[in-house]
């Protein structure tokens, strides 16, 4: 019998002593320095020689940098987070070359996130204390990824549901249920604006007052994030608990955010975070998440007969098909996603719109899916 291994991450906040703060700051600075040096080396190699430099080459460069007088300070911190910085840069370039991200950018001292990643060889965890390599004092906090034997699959129930994401309603299910969009950012928008104005009025040299204003703004943002994450956790846990299969649409949130009129609302809905939670919880609890291709016309496809209607503007929420069936736009989309799910799962591919009008706008996958609809 194969043992299931579920990895879970746990994060904790801690307040370092002065000694720890100095050591951590030194590590963060070295990580940023190595990342920027490697990025510069890879960029120059391509511009001057059309040569692609990979992780192994930058790792050899790091060894050479440590031997120079100018960069000897890199030896004062653990090599593990420095190597991890090079791996992160390699991932950034991989995402760039596969058109999933823009070209990697240099890390700024003031604006970039201060972080360092340690693998198992770079720390020791004993009796609730964490000791990082080349640090004098242990840390009484952890942020660890570990196996959790307590996570077990839910009993199989055979239920399946289609879920259509939206803005008017956060989620519409094929059962007809509509989940209210709480619009967490909108609820605190006035407080955010007021706190932002107060921060902007503080001069850069006004240390204590500016710090207070910055913390006030950060607390409002943190409250919004916490409420949003709590709501998404409850929603995704319920969906995974109640259904064996959940069918969703593959939304390109990054492209949707380019819409100047809807970007703020889309970001507040957090569709990407919803999908991420849904997928990892499905893995934990033995459920299946099926993702239908983004070009599948779920809203314009009649869930009764299978005809595809013409133009359907976003402000049209209820429409009538030529067959006489009247559809709620979102419920209809969720039903079509549910119908398409089995075909996607069986064929291992997305469902795309059919361009042959002789088949009423339905591809073979869609026809198969709709035939299976209960």
Q: Given the DSSP bridges, would you call strands 123-126 and 7-10 parallel, antiparallel or unpaired?
A: unpaired
Given the residues 23, 185, 249, 268, the one annotated as active site: 249
Rounded CA-CA distance 64/166 in Å is 53
Beta bridge partners of 179: 171
SS3 178: strand
Question: Rounded to whole angstroms, what are the CA distances from 51 to 35, 60, 89, 104, 271?
Answer: 19, 16, 16, 17, 39
The question of whether 147 is a catalytic residue gets the answer no
Question: Rounded to whole angstroms, what are the CA distances from 216 to 23, 193, 222, 228?
Answer: 28, 12, 10, 19
Rounded CA-CA distance 321/336 in Å is 14
Q: Residue 90 in contact with residue 62, Cβ under 8 Å?
A: no
DSSP-derived letter for residue 320 is E
DSSP-derived letter for residue 357 is G
Rounded CA-CA distance 151/195 in Å is 41
Q: What stretches of the chain show up as alpha helix (H) in DSSP? A: 18-49, 55-66, 79-97, 184-187, 189-200, 207-242, 253-256, 263-269, 271-284, 329-347, 364-372
The question of whether 18 is a catalytic residue gets the answer no
Given the residues 23, 185, 268, 330, the one annotated as active site: 330
The question of whether 164 is a catalytic residue gets the answer yes
Rounded CA-CA distance 369/339 in Å is 5
Given the residues 23, 164, 185, 268, the one annotated as active site: 164
Residues with catalytic function: 164, 249, 330
């Amino acid at each position: 019998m194969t043992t299931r291994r579920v990895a879970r991450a746990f994060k904790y906040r801690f307040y370092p002593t002065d000694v720890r703060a100095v050591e951590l700051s030194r590590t963060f600075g070295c990580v940023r320095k190595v990342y920027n040096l490697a990025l510069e080396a890879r960029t120059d190699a391509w511009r001057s020689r059309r040569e692609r430099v990979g992780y192994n080459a930058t790792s050899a460069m790091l060894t050479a940098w440590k031997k120079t007088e100018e960069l000897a300070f890199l030896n004062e911190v653990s090599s593990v987070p420095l190597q991890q910085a090079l791996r992160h840069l390699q991932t950034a370039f991989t995402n760039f070359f596969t058109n999933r991200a823009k070209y990697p950018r240099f890390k700024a001292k003031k604006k970039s996130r201060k972080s360092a990643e340690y693998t198992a060889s770079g720390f020791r965890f004993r009796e609730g204390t964490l000791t990082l390599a080349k640090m004098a004092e242990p840390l009484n906090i952890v942020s660890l990824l570990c196996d959790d034997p307590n996570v077990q699959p839910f009993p199989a129930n055979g239920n399946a549901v289609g879920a259509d994401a939206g803005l008017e309603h956060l989620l519409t299910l094929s059962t007809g249920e509509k989940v209210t969009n709480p619009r967490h950012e909108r609820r605190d928008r006035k407080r955010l604006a007021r706190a932002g104005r107060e921060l902007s009025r503080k001069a850069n040299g006004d240390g204590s007052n500016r710090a207070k204003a910055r913390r006030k703004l950060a607390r409002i943002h943190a409250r919004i994030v916490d409420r949003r994450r709590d709501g998404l956790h409850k929603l995704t846990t319920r969906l995974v608990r109640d259904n064996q299969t959940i069918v969703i649409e593959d939304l390109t949130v990054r492209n949707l955010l380019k819409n100047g009129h809807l970007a703020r609302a889309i970001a507040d809905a957090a569709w990407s975070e919803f999908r991420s939670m849904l997928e990892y919880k499905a893995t934990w609890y033995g459920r299946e998440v099926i993702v239908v291709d983004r070009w599948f016309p779920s809203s314009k496809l009649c869930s009764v007969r299978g005809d595809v209607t013409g133009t359907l503007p976003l402000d049209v929420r209820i429409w009538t098909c030529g067959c006489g069936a009247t559809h709620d736009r979102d419920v209809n989309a969720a039903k079509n996603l549910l119908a398409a799910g089995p075909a996607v799962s069986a064929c291992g591919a997305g469902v795309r719109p059919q361009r042959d009008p002789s088949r009423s706008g339905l591809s073979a996958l869609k026809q198969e899916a709709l035939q299976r609809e209960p």
